[in-house]
A = this chain, B = another copy of it.
Amino acid sequence: MIHPSASVSPQAILGANVSIGAFTIVHENVHIGDNTVIDSFCEIGYPSPLAEGLPLVIGADSRIRSHSILYAGSTFGARFITGHRVTVREKTTAGLNFQLGTLSDIQGDCSIGDYVRFHSNVHIGKMSKVGNFVWIFPYVVLTNDPHPPSDVLLGCEIGDYAAVATMSVVLPGVKVGSGALVAAHSMVGRDVAPDTVAGGSPSKYICDTSKIKLKDGTDRPAYPWTSHFRRGYPADVVAGWDIPPSPRSESL
């Protein structure tokens, strides 16, 4: 299952039934879980002094699509799924079934919960904290420097079940509450309360998420999205979603 043109370090630790694609490079400080498939043209365990000797750990049953680069020093839970050309730098930890879209760029030193979905081309600054079941859409940037350039890094926090729509910027240190929605093309300069919609540049409170109706011909509420959207989540996870999840994380 290792393509003859791939270059796999003899020190790399590969689980059972791992597949490595053509021309892919696997460096030495790497642990890859069982049944993981890594496509072509990837660089896995890119060495960096900022990894401080920590390995790259990829959980079982993962799929890394072509042209991706994962640095040493990060850890991903089982069923990690990427698009193409993702880059993840050192010391990021992600939970179960993280899905990371094509061209996304995680700068390192980030923590990401379980069942998080980042769509294509997101940019996650260092020190970002992302909860569980979060959605982040294309061209969103989570920033960290309040007066660039400086050595002051204030990471953003995105609460459980929150969604940040396309082309929005979250300013340094801002917290987006659990279940909140950030509208497209917004600059979020203040905290967003849980279960509210914020939007604009600079962002303002628009309404509670409960006011948004699903545009599917029914008049059902669109949020919490767990009431109608389940694609890609395991059956045991969505089993509890017949009613809105409660209580939410109160970390934000």
**A36: B residues at CB distance < 8 A:** none
Q: What's the Cα separation between A181 and B84 when bound, in Å? A: 32
**A102: B residues at CB distance < 8 A:** 87, 105
Measured CB to CB, the nearest residue on chain B to A101 is B105
Contact yes or no, A66 B46, CB < 8 A: yes
Measured CB to CB, the nearest residue on chain B to A67 is B67
Q: Does A14 contact B (CB under 8 A)?
A: no
Contact yes or no, A185 B201, CB < 8 A: yes
Bits for A92-127, please: 1 = Cβ < 8 Å to B, else 0.
Answer: 000000000011010100000000010011010000
Q: Does A135 contact B (CB under 8 A)?
A: yes
* A103-159, CB < 8 A from B: 103, 105, 107, 117, 120-121, 123, 135, 137-139, 141, 143, 146-152, 154
Select A40's contact among B25, B83, B139, B223, beta carbons within 8 Å: B25
Q: Does A19 contact B (CB under 8 A)?
A: no
**A225: B residues at CB distance < 8 A:** 147-150
Q: What's the Cα separation between A222 and B102 when bound, in Å? A: 36
Which size bracket describes the interface of A in this complex?
35 or more
**A185: B residues at CB distance < 8 A:** 169, 186-187, 201
**A69: B residues at CB distance < 8 A:** 66-67, 84
Q: Does A43 contact B (CB under 8 A)?
A: yes
**A84: B residues at CB distance < 8 A:** 69, 87
Q: Which stretch in A53-61, A74-82, A209-217, A242-250 binds the other chain?
A: A209-217
Contact yes or no, B169 A166, CB < 8 A: yes
Contact yes or no, A120 B123, CB < 8 A: yes
Give, as a whole number of angstroms, the nearest-CB distance from A19 to chain B: 13
Contact yes or no, B187 A184, CB < 8 A: yes
Bits for A157-181, please: 1 = Cβ < 8 Å to B, else 0.
Answer: 0000001011101010000000001
Q: Does A204 contact B (CB under 8 A)?
A: no
Q: What's the Cα separation between A109 and B59 when bound, in Å? A: 32
**A214: B residues at CB distance < 8 A:** 147, 150, 152
What are 11 sample pairs from A and B whose C-beta atoms fall under 8 A apart?
Answer: A23-B41, A41-B67, A67-B69, A103-B103, A121-B123, A123-B166, A135-B148, A141-B167, A143-B166, A147-B222, A151-B216
5 additional A-B pairs beyond A150-B222, A171-B184, A184-B187, beta carbons within 8 Å, are A23-B23, A103-B105, A117-B149, A138-B141, A151-B228
